[in-house]
Amino acid sequence: MTEDSKIAASFELDGKTIPFTEGQTIIQAAMAAGEYIPHLCFNPEFKPHGSCKICTVKADGRQTASCTSLAQPGMVVESDTPALNEERRALLQMLFVEGNHFCPSCEKSGNCQLQATAYELEMMSPHFDQFYPDRPLDASHHEYLLDLNRCILCSLCVRASRDVDAKNVFALAGRGIKTHLIVNAKSGRLADTDFSGDDKAAHVCPVGVIIKKRVGFSVPIGQRSFDEHPIGAAPHPDNRDD
Amino acid sequence: MNASTKPKLRVATATLAGCFGCHMSFLDIDERLFELMELVEFDRSPLTDIKHCGPCDIGIIEGGLCNAENVHVLQEFRANCRILIALGACAVNGGLPAQRNHLSLALILEEVYHAQHGLVDGFIPNDPELPLPLDKVHPIHEVVKIDYFIPGCPPSGDAIWKVLTDLLAGREPQLGHGLLHYD
Ligand code: SF4
Ligand code: SF4
Ligand code: FES
């Protein structure tokens, strides 16, 4: 990128001027300017995946995922509107009913991006009928457990393990409603992979799937990150790992 | 009662498949109960021991649906209450009782009453007085229309107070950050 292309381009987000450099996506530029656009499968440290659609905005009148759409000069972007928030809420409700999210007993409660985003968007009920799927829990690893009841298939662990740890411990298998997370071992057990607590993949799950054992409730419920700050105003909304 | 005051709103409450924690949290509004009693009177509720719900302004349901009786009580509340509120995690999404949903009911009954280590001559109770368990536990909005939800396990007394006072003042209830909790 030349120096010239880096300067002085901007677009409008909900009436505010957001500067960007060429190659930045809408959400990257918004975050850099301190503006919050709800998101789940996007994490600024990783290549976007574009799957959850929570980050959907209206850019020049067209709905698009702001984590995969490049910012363009002069673009007019709407994000915090009743209509978009309504659609985001419906997506969240589907994520909740497709899994088993029993927050009162979840180690991640209060540090969970799904939950905090649902608070932010004032999701008062799951609205849809619960699926109550039968999903496994893998406690085979000595240091970490996988509670797949809470997986939202964001692929962040897949990306972290592949792109940062160079290990490929995780993958998404199946299609459509049958999509599920698998680990790279014949037995299907985390203990039989080369996964370690030092991996980046151990620290990226936005929800309560990849859980460090024996520390789950060391910080009491009610005193956790998003109990202190709503996600839209949190200093570091991603990579909660406490 | 002071004759010049507005007629009191009638409120009914019930616990279905819950642990009573939400009702305990309701009592956590503490001395604000006196203020509340100026504005409302209770119909059917564990607090009054009235057995059936008459016409009411507000119905509050704690707990989800785990047996046939839960469904009948819920329907009675919906038929009689102008506004029906789901109170707490179990009413909102099934909560703790719904953690049995990935197991078959037969297996659970067998395990609890028959097979479990230490049970001698166990048998599955079959008294006609006992309501039949449902195959799966369900949140209440899957069976009747619910007007407002107060999530939380349990919701705080402050959250319950906020929703009630909003409703009594004719405002759309709103729980902001700190009061809206799923845990
Ligand atoms: S992962 Fe998040 S939303 Fe799901 S049960 Fe845990 S805290 Fe709740
Ligand atoms: S385990 Fe967590 S990080 Fe991995 S796909 Fe599921 S939700 Fe995403
Ligand atoms: S955050 Fe953009 S699609 Fe998930």
Distance A40 CA to ligand 3 centre (A): 6
Q: Are B122 and B113 in contact (CB under 8 A)?
A: yes
Q: Are residues A127 and A205 in the same domain?
A: yes
Q: Are residues A75 and A173 in the same domain?
A: no
**At A65, is the secondary structure helix, strand, or coil?**
strand
A134 contacts in chain B (CB < 8 Å): 102
A17 pLDDT exceeds 50? yes
Q: Are residues A58 and A97 in the same domain?
A: no
A1 pLDDT exceeds 80? no
Report yes or no: B146 at the A interface, CB cutoff 8 Å: yes
Token pair for residue A146?
């996988």
Q: How far apart are CA B18 and CA B34, in angstroms?
A: 26
Average pLDDT over residues A149-177: 97
Beta-ladder partners of B42: B11
Q: What is the pLDDT of residues A128-144, one digit of tens each?
A: 999 999 999 999 999 99
The amino acid present at A148, given as its one-letter code, is L
| Domain end call among A80, A114, A142 | A80
Q: Looking at residue A6, what is its pLDDT?
A: 52
Q: Are residues A130 and A178 in the same domain?
A: yes
Q: Is A42 in the pocket of ligand 3 (CB under 6 A)?
A: yes
Q: Are residues A96 and A75 in the same domain?
A: no
Q: Are residues A106 and A194 in the same domain?
A: yes
Q: Are residues A96 and A38 in the same domain?
A: no
Domain tally, chain A: 2
Nearest by CB to B151, which of A105, A124, A222? A124
Q: Are residues A34 and A125 in the same domain?
A: no
Q: Are residues A116 and A166 in the same domain?
A: yes
DSSP notation for chain B: --TTSPPPEEEEEEESBS-SHHHHHHHTTTTHHHHHHHHEEE-SSTTT---S--SEEEEEEESBEEEHHHHHHHHHHHHHEEEEEEESHHHHH-TGGGGGTTS-HHHHHHIIIIISTT-SS------TTSPPEEEEEE-GGGTS--SEEE-SSSPPHHHHHHHHHHHHTTPPP---TTT----
Token pair for residue B114?
């028959």
* Residue B183 burial class via C-beta count within 10 angstroms: exposed 0-12, middle 13-18, buried 19 and up: buried
A62 alpha-carbon distance from chain centroid: 23
* Residue A8 burial class via C-beta count within 10 angstroms: exposed 0-12, middle 13-18, buried 19 and up: exposed
Q: Please indicate, yes or no, if residue A155 is contained in any of the structural domains.
A: yes
Report yes or no: A133 at the B interface, CB cutoff 8 Å: yes
Question: pTM to 2 decimals?
Answer: 0.95
Q: Please indicate, yes or no, if residue A238 is contained in any of the structural domains.
A: no
Q: Are residues A111 and A63 in the same domain?
A: no
Q: Please indicate, yes or no, if residue A131 is contained in any of the structural domains.
A: yes
Report yes or no: A105 at the B interface, CB cutoff 8 Å: yes
pLDDT category, A242, cuts 50, 70, 90?
Answer: very low
Q: Looking at residue A11, what is its pLDDT?
A: 98
Structural domains of chain B, with CATH: 9-102+136-168 (3.40.50.700)
Q: Please indicate, yes or no, if residue A38 is contained in any of the structural domains.
A: yes
A122 contacts in chain B (CB < 8 Å): 174-175, 180
Q: How far apart are CA B103 and CA A130, in angstroms?
A: 15
Distance A112 CA to ligand 1 centre (A): 6
| Domain end call among A54, A80, A106 | A80
Q: Are residues A70 and A88 in the same domain?
A: no
Q: Looking at residue A107, what is its pLDDT?
A: 97
Q: In this structure, what CATH number is given to the domain that contains residue A105?
A: 3.30.70.20
**At A231, is the secondary structure helix, strand, or coil?**
helix
Distance A38 CA to ligand 3 centre (A): 8
Q: In this structure, what CATH number is given to the domain that contains residue A43?
A: 3.10.20.740
Q: What is the pLDDT of residues A59-110, one digit of tens each?
A: 999 999 999 999 999 999 999 999 999 999 999 999 999 999 999 999 999 9
Q: Please indicate, yes or no, if residue A62 is contained in any of the structural domains.
A: yes
Average pLDDT, chain A: 94
Q: How far apart are CA A184 and CA A169, in angstroms?
A: 5
Q: How far apart are CA B172 and CA B159, in angstroms?
A: 14
Q: How far apart are CA A200 and CA A188, in angstroms?
A: 20
B104 contacts in chain A (CB < 8 Å): none
Residues of chain B with pLDDT under 70: 1-5
Q: Are residues A105 and A177 in the same domain?
A: yes
> Is the bond leading into A126 cis (omega within 30 degrees of zero)?
no
pLDDT category, A237, cuts 50, 70, 90?
Answer: low
How many other CB atoms are found less than 10 A from the CB of residue B160?
Answer: 27
Average pLDDT over residues A23-50: 96
Q: Please indicate, yes or no, if residue A63 is contained in any of the structural domains.
A: yes
HSE-CB of B180 using CA atoms within 13 angstroms: 21
DSSP notation for A7-40: SSEEEEETTEEEEE-TT-BHHHHHHHTT-----S
Q: Please indicate, yes or no, if residue A158 is contained in any of the structural domains.
A: yes
> How many angstroms separate the most distant Cα atoms in chain A?
55
Q: Looking at residue B91, what is its pLDDT?
A: 98
> Which domain range does residue A25 map to?
2-80
The long-range contacts involving A80-88, CB below 8 angstroms and separated by at least 24 positions, are A80/A14, A81/A14, A84/A56, A84/A57, A84/A58, A85/A121, A87/A56, A88/A38, A88/A54, A88/A56, A88/A117, A88/A121
| Domain end call among A22, A57, A80 | A80
A44 alpha-carbon distance from chain centroid: 10
How many other CB atoms are found less than 10 A from the CB of residue B56?
Answer: 24
Q: What is the pLDDT of residues B86-108, one digit of tens each?
A: 999 999 999 999 999 999 999 99
Return the residue in A93, A129, A130 with the most chain B beta carbons within 10 A, the one to mutate for interface testing. Answer: A130
Q: Please state the atom number of ligand 3 nearest to the C-alpha of residue A52.
A: 4
Q: Please indicate, yes or no, if residue A235 is contained in any of the structural domains.
A: no
Report yes or no: B155 at the A interface, CB cutoff 8 Å: no
Q: Looking at residue A183, what is its pLDDT?
A: 98
Q: How far apart are CA B31 and CA A185, in angstroms?
A: 59
A5 pLDDT exceeds 70? no
